Amino acid sequence: MEFESVEFNLSQYLDSQCRLINTTLENYLKTVANSSRLTQAMQYSLMAGGKRLRPVLCMASCEAIGGCAQETLPAACAMEMIHTYSLIHDDLPAMDDDALRRGKPTCHVQFDEATAILAGDALLTMAFQMLSDHAVTKNNHTDRWLRVIQRVSRAAGCQGMIEGQMRDIVAEHAVLSPSALERLHALKTGALIEAAIVSGAILGGGSEDQIRDLTSYAGYIGLAFQVKDDVLNVAGDPELLGKGVGTDAQRQKSTYPSLMGLEASEQFASSLIDKALQSLASFDQRSDPLRAMAEYIIVRQH
């Protein structure tokens, strides 16, 4: 018997998840913020209007295995805090030296360099405060929350994103092999995306097999996401992107377009998304948001 397939409405899904995420972020900020310059800078960057992909992926991963997505919100929002901190530091003069982010002046331009460094530090710390606050006060599935804290801290630090950022800086002006570039991308961007997805699965009570398949999905979309980011840096519209274009070439960054050209990069990203979708073969329609997100990652214009 054939069932009529219902088109999954991604933009409606993203709207409603982003509303939940933004409200949770605002509320948590209120509990720690005062009117200090530091918390103003944290609020400025955190609420500047990012796509919230990592928290949405965290929630969608939990949903895919039949868990309650809203219960992941503290983890989902912690991922966004870490991501925003990484962007603030990524934009600093000593790093990528960018002036525009999320359609606004970067944190160090709007405030100053020292404030931006400290706002990033504080957002990173706040992420683990939010995770541990939840684990301690709710006293519900504390073991799962502890696993999430372990997973996220590993992904954010010297075995994940920070090592990726280091390699990205060291690779300026160099030509990397395809495997070295893939590893760099997996660390700098993939690690946090994978941690978001695996955290959602852990909190939803996913089996080891489910976590393995979702890790595989995450690896493919994480790489595709950064390849697309690199493509948009060459061919994107700065108005839509809310950040500068052509900056990777200016700084002689190691990127997929610089290694294999634009068209081959787009094809590579698309082949990665095919593999990501194959990784979801054993999941039912509750993984439709994850499928739609995978497809969105390579067609997005911002």
Contact positions toward Mg ion, by CB under 5 A?
90, 96
Q: Which helix (H) or strand (E) holds 101?
A: strand 100-101
- Pick the closer one to ligand IPE by CB: 71 or 229: 229
- Pick the closer one to ligand IPE by CB: 50 or 219: 50
Those residues with Cβ within 8 angstroms of residue 192's Cβ, 6 or more apart along the chain or in another chain? 54, 79, 82, 83, 86, 155, 156, 160, 161
Stretch that binds ligand IPE, among 12-20, 79-87, 265-273, 290-298 (CB under 6 A): 79-87
Contact between 130 and 177 (Cβ < 8 Å): no
Q: Which does 258 bind (CB under 5 to 8 A by kind): ligand IPE, Mg ion, none?
A: none
Q: In angstroms, what is the minimal distance from the CB of 232 to ligand IPE?
A: 8
**Exactly one of 55, 67, 102, 276 binds ligand IPE (CB under 6 A); which one?**
102
β-bridge pairing 104-105 and 100-101? antiparallel
Which phi and psi (to 5°) does residue 25 adopt? -60, -50
Q: Residue 244 is which amino acid?
A: G
Tell me the residue number closest to Mg ion, measured at CB: 96
- Rounded to whole angstroms, the Cα distance separating 212 from 123 reads 30
**Exactly one of 24, 28, 45, 50 binds ligand IPE (CB under 6 A); which one?**
50
Q: Which does 134 bind (CB under 5 to 8 A by kind): Mg ion, ligand IPE, none?
A: none
Q: In angstroms, what is the minimal distance from the CB of 244 to ligand IPE?
A: 8
**With b meaning 16 or more CB within 10 Å and e meaning fewer, what string describes 208-227?**
eebbebbeebbbbbbbbbbb
- Pick the closer one to ligand IPE by CB: 71 or 96: 96
The alpha carbons of the chain give a radius of gyration, in whole angstroms, of 19
Stretch that binds ligand IPE, among 3-11, 15-23, 50-58, 146-154 (CB under 6 A): 50-58
